[in-house]
Structures are given as C-alpha cells and as structure tokens.
Amino acid sequence: MLDTRRLATPLGPRPSPHRRARSRLGALALGLTVLGAPALAFAEEGQADSGFALEASLGARFGVVATGGGATVDGTTLQTGLFGGYKFGRLVLGLGLEFANVTSSTAATVVNQTITTTTSDSSFLIGPELQAALLRTADGRVELIGDLSLHFGHQFHSVSISPTPAVTNNTPTDSNFLLSYAVAPGVRYWAHPHLALQALAGFGGQAYFDLPVNNNPANGNNSQHGIFSSFGLLGVF
C-alpha cells in the first residue's frame, strides 16, 4: 500500500523566518535599484561627453585703460561671436569668430551750418579658443568654466561727413593688424544633454598695429584694455 504520509513530507527543511525576511529585503532592494536606474542614467547623461560644439554669443566690452599714440578709451563696444570646435570631456577647443563695432558722432557749427562727422570702427577677428570646466556638480548639469581666447584680424575705419563737403580726400586707407585677447571665468548650465546656456565676465583687450602702405604715414600703434561680459548658447552634437 502507498504511504501517503511520505508524499506529504517536504523535500527539504523549511527556511527559517530570518532567512525569509532577508530574501524579502533582497527582493525589495533589487526592485528599488531597477526603479532608480532611469534616474541614475539621466544623471550620468546631464551633458554630452564629446562631440562637435557650436556656440553663438552676444556681449559688450567696456574700455578702462588705453595705451599708445592716439589711443582713447572707447565706451561700450557691442560684440557678437561664433565658435566652432570639439568637446571632449571637460575641454572644448576650437576656433572663434569675433565681430565688434564702435560708432561715434560729433557736430560742429561752421558759418551758420552744422556739420556732423560720424566715425565707425568695425573689426573682424578669428583665432583659437579654449574652454574648460573647472568645477562640476554631481549630475553634470552646472559647471564653473574658464575661457581663454586669442584672436587675430583687421579693423575697418570709415568717416562720413554730412553735409558732404565739395572737396573730399580720397587717400588710400592704411593696412592694419588687430590682436584681441580675453580671459574670463563663467557659468554653464546644461538645460539638455546637447544644449547649454553660459555666461562669461572677465578681462580682455585689443592691440592695434598700423601697417602703412604707399608710403603713407602711420597713425601709430595703440591698445585698449577693459572688462567684458557675454551670454552664449552652446550646442554639442
């Protein structure tokens, strides 16, 4: 006859209450880990680690010190810039384009006639630029950055007189070489892993070197230094 009591006997010893409790805690910890994985991955993807970088910026420079022959301290100079390079880790290295313009106007009365003279100085520069993340939050979204740039270019000078005089001087314009530098700390915020907002404020300046042509007398070399600030939008792809 078949012994039914032997069939009802468990195959092994039943786990103790402490062992069952540890198993439940282990399962709970595993479940929390799985649920927290997306948040952890999002934190690690606070910003793209590498890729092509493109930035557009708008800022202003305020002259403080001027040196050299005929140098004057200009007021506020509007600056726009474009930067293209590559981001790898904490560094962004590439070429920067810089555009600046200063326009001034004076009026004088001569023989009951008001003559207005408008002077415009525009510059176009290009050169290397380096940005580095000095400090970074744990989620990679906010960074304290440093920016260093050295740009080379040309200054375009124009003078217009209104009303136009009957006799004008059409002497050739001298050639020139323009050097611009900037050193600044800043803050960068990654609103998206591939898109960041950043602001810079630091010290910079321009040096002007006159290169006379056709034996025209040189106007003299000069430089201007001051503080600047800019706001930019950076994309990494």
pTM over 0.85: no
Q: Which two tokens stand for residue 116?
A: 């207005």
* pLDDT at residue number 112: 73
Residue with token string 């408008």: 118
| Residue ranges covered by each domain of the chain | 45-236
**3-class secondary-structure state, position 144:** strand
* pLDDT at residue number 29: 54
Judge whether 116 and 163 are in contact, CB under 8 Å. Answer: no
* pLDDT at residue number 37: 44
Q: One digit per residue, pLDDT tens: the chain, 237 residues?
A: 455 555 445 555 565 555 655 666 565 555 544 444 443 444 346 899 999 999 999 998 887 787 876 656 666 778 889 999 999 999 999 999 988 777 777 777 777 777 888 877 788 999 999 999 999 999 999 999 999 999 999 888 777 777 776 555 544 456 888 899 999 999 999 999 999 999 999 999 888 888 776 666 666 788 888 999 999 999 999
With 0-12 / 13-18 / 19 or more C-beta atoms within 10 angstroms meaning exposed / middle / buried, residue 105 is: exposed
**3-class secondary-structure state, position 42:** helix
Looking at 3.40.50.620, 1.10.3720.10, 2.40.160.20, 1.20.1290.10, the CATH number of the domain 45-236 comes to 2.40.160.20
**3-class secondary-structure state, position 186:** strand
